[in-house]
Structure 1
Amino acid sequence: MSEFEVKNMELRVGDKLKVKGRVLEDAERFQIDVGRDPDHLALHFNPRFHDDTDGEVIICNSKCDGIWGSEQRDRAFPFEKGAEVKLTMKVTGEGFEVDLPDGQELFFPDRLGLDTLNYIRVRGHFKVTSFKFS
C-alpha cells in the first residue's frame, strides 16, 4: 500500500487535477482525497474492487471536522487490476467532475464550500506515476 501526499497547494474553482498511475495487481481499493486537510475533505474518491454491499463500486464522500457525510455509491466501475489509469478531477462551483478512464463522468457535489483546496492525498493499492494541476 502506498501513499502520496501534497500540502500547501492551491486548487480553486475552474482548476483541474490530473492523476496518472497504475492500479496494483492485488488491488482491493484506493482513494484520492482532496480538501483542506485530512479532517476536511471536499472529495473522497474511493474505488473498491470488492465491497460487501455492492461488489465493484466507486464510493464518494466528504468529511467535515473529522466526520464523514453520506456516501454516494456509483456502480460504474472502469478500473482493472494492473491497469494504467488517468483520472482528471475538475473543480466546479457546484462540486467535482471526475473523468473516469472509460470516458464516463462522475459528479460529486461540493458539501464544504471551501474557496481553496490545498491538500491532496492518494493512498491504497495505486502507484502514482504523474501528478499535475492546472
Structure 2
Amino acid sequence: MECELKNILLRPGDQLKIQGIVVSDANRFQIDLGADSDNLALHFNPRFKDETVIVCNSKHESTWGDEERHDRNPYHPGTTMKVRVKMTGNLFEVELPDGEEIQFPNREGLDVISYVRIKGDFKLTSFKIY
C-alpha cells in the first residue's frame, strides 16, 4: 500500500493521527513527513521480520541521516494500530499505542510539513490532521 499526499499544511502545534491495520505477514511500513520524497523531516519505520525495532530518520536532498533505533516496537502484524505525530517545531513527538512516546528532532528545520507518505505492509483506515 502507498498513500502520498502533497500540498498539505502541517504546522507546529498540529497533530497527525493515522489508524490502520498492520498486514498479517508484515515486514515493515513507514510514515514519512517532509517537503517531498527527497527531503523528509521524519521517517518513522516500524520493522517486524529480521528485527523488531522502530527506526526514525531524516533525509536531506536524497541523503539519509543517522538512524535512531528504538528496541521497543509495540506494533504487531495482523493487528489494528494507531500512531499520533505532533509537530512542536523543533521536534516530532510520536505517541505509540502503549502510551510511550518517541521524540525525534526536526533536523531539516521545516516550519511547515507539506508532504506525507504512508507506505508498506499497512492498510490505512483513517487519516486526520488537527
Q: Which residue of 1 aligns with 2:116?
A: 120
- Give the share of equivalent positions with the same residue, in percent: 55
Q: Which residue of 1 aligns with 2:15?
A: 16
- Distance, in Å, in 2 between the alignment partners of 1:36 and 1:59 is 20
Aligned AA (2:86): K
Unaligned runs of 5+ in 2: none
**What SS does the aligned partner of 1:50 have?**
coil
Unaligned runs of 5+ in 1: none
1:50/1:57 contact within 8 Å kept? no
Q: How big is each residue's C-alpha offset from its partner over 1:58-82, in whole Å with a ceiling of 9 and x where there is no partner?
A: 0000000010000000001101111
**2:77 is aligned with 1:81:** yes
TM (norm. structure 2) is 0.98
- Distance, in Å, in 2 between the alignment partners of 1:68 and 1:29 is 18
**What SS does the aligned partner of 1:98 have?**
strand
2:89/2:111 contact within 8 Å kept? no
Select the residue among 86, 90, 114 that pairs with 1:94: 90
> 1:50: Cα distance to partner?
2.7
> 1:114: Cα distance to partner?
1.0
Aligned alpha-carbon RMSD (Å): 0.7
Aligned AA (2:119): R
TM (norm. structure 1) is 0.95
- Distance, in Å, in 2 between the alignment partners of 1:109 and 1:97 is 9
